[in-house]
Structure 1
Amino acid sequence: MDNFSLVIVGITSNLAQIKLIPTLYDLVAGGYLPKDFQVIGIGRTTYNQGQFRDFVSKTLRTPNHHHTHVIDERIEQELFAHLTYLSVDLTDLSSYAKLKDLLVRQQTPNHVFYLATFPSLYGSIFENLKSTGLADEKAGWTRLLIEKPIGSDRDSARELNDLLTKYFREDQIFRLDHYLGKETLQNILTFRFGNGILEPLMTSDHIDHIEVTAAEDFGIGSRGSYYDQNGAIKDVGQNHLLQMLALATMDKPKSMDNDSITKERVKILKSLVPDPSSLVIGQYEGYLGEKDIAPGSTTETYFSFKTMIDNDR
């Protein structure tokens, strides 16, 4: 694997704390990263390197349903050896000069920018990365990773995609759905298309219905301000659940490469015929008492609906 610098923009965010930082620990523990990889955490908080390590250490030891094992101090110190913190104003072009200088000093020509920050800042980030040459690939490769929400509706999603492709090539952009990284989901296609007995039965002649469920036994935690503006449908419905539905129902791709699988996923999503009258929404008891929730909020924390699939099967 090539050496690279991973720049996490928004290292103090909820996403970074519950998933990215614990994942980095797991990658180091498993020996999955190259010898000289570097991680630069970017945030607004003014930390020195010692304070940043204390923050990471506390994050790893905070109860987390995504990451529950005991922390090995030896692995933690190995992770610390590759960590650097940089306080940056993401809207200020001059701040990116500090980042560029650090990347040059680290002598890692390959760069991954992981945006774990507010989508409202994306425009400034894209433009400033491009203006400072950090989006260019002069000595190595550059990748940009973004997670949901990719827009709040169809128009804003298209606007964001236009913005992305204005500053980055399509092969540099990774739009992430972290559910697809779950081992069970990764095994669905192997289970389906590697099974000569099961796959021929995946038709309406043999299957009455398929139910896709994402059930969680915890609340929104510290995500109140984000969640109350989006709700369950935008948070998990139009991404996680639709991706699971696509994997369970898509036709067999010509090959198992990314482009072929993506083509079949898109095809099945275009064939959906949802029934608006079947939509049911709800809100869990105690939601209005969660932190950063607007009084009287009607944001849904539960939903269900039916959709038909209009294809030959």
Structure 2
Amino acid sequence: MTDQPVNPLRDPADRRLPRIAGPCGMVLFGVTGDLSRKKVMPAIYDLANRGLLPPGFSLVGFARRDWADEDFAQIVHDAVREHSRTEFREEVWNQLAEGFRFVQGDFDDDVAFDQLRRTIEELDQARGTRGNHAFYLAIPPTFFGAVAAQLKEHGLAEPNPGQWRRVVVEKPFGHDLASARELNDILGQVFDSGSIFRIDHYLGKETVQNILAMRFANNLFEPVWNSNYVDHVQITMAEDVGIGGRAGYYDGVGAARDVIQNHLLQLMALVAMEEPTAFDAESLRVEKLKVLSSITLPKRLDLSTARGQYAAGWAGGQQVIGFCEEDGIAKDSATETYAAVTLNVETRRWGGVPFYLRTGKRLGRRVTEVAIVFKKAPHQPFSATATEELGQNAIVIRVQPDEGMTIRFGSKVPGTAMEIRDVNMDFAYGGSFTEASPEAYERLILDVLLGDPPLFPRHEEVELSWKILDPILAHWAAKGRPEPYASGGWGPAGADKMLARDGRAWRRP
């Protein structure tokens, strides 16, 4: 009988059994934001609908709005109906909604945090949450310190024996190395390191985790996963949309801080890491830290990096405005909406193999992929005309959309002549597995409630990522404004020149 893949929402000891969280609740700060409405609230409902939350699970919202518990329940209801992935069932909703509470207040409001403590104590009795609570900070990092201090001051962060308290924070984890260290110190003064969960939702995606499964569960790929065979690696996260309503967040942050520092460097670490001794948090952390510690920058940052800012153009068949014409963006903004960098991993496995990372908005299409591009065969006993259309072999891991993997290799074209052309062998998750993949936030929230941390970057990884990126940001800051590029294209000309200097070209996803 063919072995079936492990469902991440099921118990690894017995795949027939789901991984169900024990008695617990969650306090959600930032309930009015898009993240809570589009991701966190729907994921909680979907987990409940799958039977993966305890019957007495509670959700407490904290915000300045003058809401009653019923008003908060309506907000969650609307978010669930609009964004959840599973069908809406009244019986599931009614049971879940019985555990909803709302506390009104500011982050510096002692009275509100006293009320929060009493609310949690009431839920421990009424819903059986047993003192186990996660505090989800879906708020800007500038408020982390105030909330953490209030949780400590009001006795909410320190659990009694046999209980747990955890804190969940979203990126960005600082805006440079110094601020990241400050945030880590602030949280570390209130919660122990094992109780701090930094969410990078990309690490919750099935195809990201499949990088490890593909590499280490098979004997087919690992022998050629090194500089003897690999020419270079391209990691791309392209978006076909602009900043939308995120001007307040995005301006001054930019593409590199928003995506490269976290998502793409984490992907790079998974691609380049050595085999861990086990699939647990500590073993994965050790190997990822080795990679991040080994990353070096080229000497000429002006030749090995590129940045751009989208201008007006056509995207999706519609004429769109440029970044500096967006509402809330200054006309002379120097924030980049496209970033590309060249990185090296100074290890025996990867020495001499460049890693090209790029991300951008208003590009040709929405796609995230990792492409392992191989060297050409050292000798080909064919005529030059026979291989005119033959490129380099590649393994392309598609993270989104159309999750799966493509292997590109050369094959003879049917006919009497010897003509070799690139062909693709494709694996798609949707076509191979009948069970739908859980949404990343479902997996990550369940892991928080279970106290299972393999998919969450630790503070050492965050700080090493900023050490890599800070010199690039400083170099760009001294160079004026980014290079403009037309919306709907594939970025600035400088990014193409960056690879052309190495005799290479970006893949066209």
The TM-score, its normalising length taken from structure 2, stands at: 0.58
CA distance in 1, matches of 2:220, 2:118: 58
Counterpart in 2 of 1:231?
254
Match of 1:211 among 234, 241, 245: 234
Match of 2:142 among 93, 116, 120: 120
CA distance in 1, matches of 2:89, 2:194: 38
Match of 1:302 among 325, 331, 338: 338
| C-alpha contact 2:25 2:58 (8 A) present in aligned 1 | yes
Structure 1 counterpart of 2:285, one-letter code: T
Cα deviation, residue 201, structure 1: 1.1
CA deviation map 1:89-147 (0-9, x unaligned): 11122221000000000012101001011211111111111111101111511111111
Structure 2 counterpart of 1:26, one-letter code: D
Where does structure 1 lack aligned partners over 5 or more consecutive residues?
Answer: none
CA distance in 2, matches of 1:84, 1:214: 38
CA distance in 1, matches of 2:280, 2:77: 38
Structure 2 counterpart of 1:129, one-letter code: L
Cα deviation, residue 70, structure 1: 7.4
Counterpart in 1 of 2:71?
51
CA distance in 1, matches of 2:289, 2:168: 20
Counterpart in 2 of 1:80?
97
Deviates more, 1:32-41 or 1:78-87: 78-87
CA distance in 1, matches of 2:243, 2:80: 19
Deviates more, 1:90-99 or 1:276-285: 276-285
CA distance in 1, matches of 2:86, 2:48: 14
Counterpart in 1 of 2:154?
132
Q: Count matched residues.
A: 309
Cα deviation, residue 224, structure 1: 1.5
User: What is the DSSP-based 3-state SS (H/G/I as helix, E as strand, rest coil) of the residue aligned with 2:236?
Assistant: coil
Q: CA RMSD in A?
A: 1.8
User: What is the DSSP-based 3-state SS (H/G/I as helix, E as strand, rest coil) of the residue aligned with 1:58?
Assistant: helix
CA distance in 2, matches of 1:279, 1:99: 48
User: What is the DSSP-based 3-state SS (H/G/I as helix, E as strand, rest coil) of the residue aligned with 1:151?
Assistant: coil
Q: How does 1:88-237 map to 2 (within 5 A)?
A: 88-107=105-124, 108=129, 109-139=131-161, 140-237=163-260
Where does structure 2 lack aligned partners over 5 or more consecutive residues?
Answer: 1-20, 312-320, 350-509
CA distance in 2, matches of 1:16, 1:7: 12
| C-alpha contact 2:309 2:338 (8 A) present in aligned 1 | yes
User: What is the DSSP-based 3-state SS (H/G/I as helix, E as strand, rest coil) of the residue aligned with 1:117?
Assistant: coil
Using the aligned pairs only, state the percent identity: 39
| C-alpha contact 1:28 1:78 (8 A) present in aligned 2 | no
Bigger relative contact order, structure 1 or 2, given CA contacts below 8 A and separation 6+? 2
CA distance in 1, matches of 2:94, 2:245: 28
Structure 2 counterpart of 1:4, one-letter code: C
CA distance in 2, matches of 1:48, 1:99: 14
Cα deviation, residue 52, structure 1: 2.0
Cα deviation, residue 69, structure 1: 4.8
| C-alpha contact 2:24 2:56 (8 A) present in aligned 1 | yes
CA deviation map 1:31-57 (0-9, x unaligned): 211111101111111112232233223
Cα deviation, residue 253, structure 1: 1.2
| Aligned CA distance change for structure 1 residues 39 and 311 (closer, same or farther; 3 Å) | same
CA distance in 1, matches of 2:244, 2:155: 38
Cα deviation, residue 178, structure 1: 1.1
CA distance in 1, matches of 2:208, 2:118: 40
| C-alpha contact 1:247 1:265 (8 A) present in aligned 2 | yes
CA distance in 2, matches of 1:49, 1:129: 21
| C-alpha contact 1:21 1:56 (8 A) present in aligned 2 | yes
CA distance in 1, matches of 2:85, 2:282: 36
User: What is the DSSP-based 3-state SS (H/G/I as helix, E as strand, rest coil) of the residue aligned with 2:108?
Assistant: coil
CA distance in 2, matches of 1:70, 1:3: 23
Cα deviation, residue 166, structure 1: 1.2
| Aligned CA distance change for structure 1 residues 303 and 189 (closer, same or farther; 3 Å) | same
| Aligned CA distance change for structure 1 residues 213 and 21 (closer, same or farther; 3 Å) | same
| C-alpha contact 1:60 1:71 (8 A) present in aligned 2 | no
Cα deviation, residue 263, structure 1: 0.9
The TM-score, its normalising length taken from structure 1, stands at: 0.93
CA distance in 2, matches of 1:68, 1:143: 25
Structure 2 counterpart of 1:89, one-letter code: D
Query: In the alignment, does 2:308 pair up with 1:282?
Result: yes
| Aligned CA distance change for structure 1 residues 70 and 103 (closer, same or farther; 3 Å) | closer
CA deviation map 1:263-299 (0-9, x unaligned): 1101101111223232111122332333332333221
User: What is the DSSP-based 3-state SS (H/G/I as helix, E as strand, rest coil) of the residue aligned with 1:283?
Assistant: strand
CA distance in 2, matches of 1:121, 1:234: 19
Deviates more, 1:159-168 or 1:213-222: 213-222
CA deviation map 1:229-280 (0-9, x unaligned): 2111111110000001111111111222110101110110111122323211
User: What is the DSSP-based 3-state SS (H/G/I as helix, E as strand, rest coil) of the residue aligned with 1:284?
Assistant: strand
CA distance in 2, matches of 1:48, 1:190: 47
Cα deviation, residue 9, structure 1: 0.9
| C-alpha contact 2:81 2:88 (8 A) present in aligned 1 | no
| Aligned CA distance change for structure 1 residues 204 and 61 (closer, same or farther; 3 Å) | same
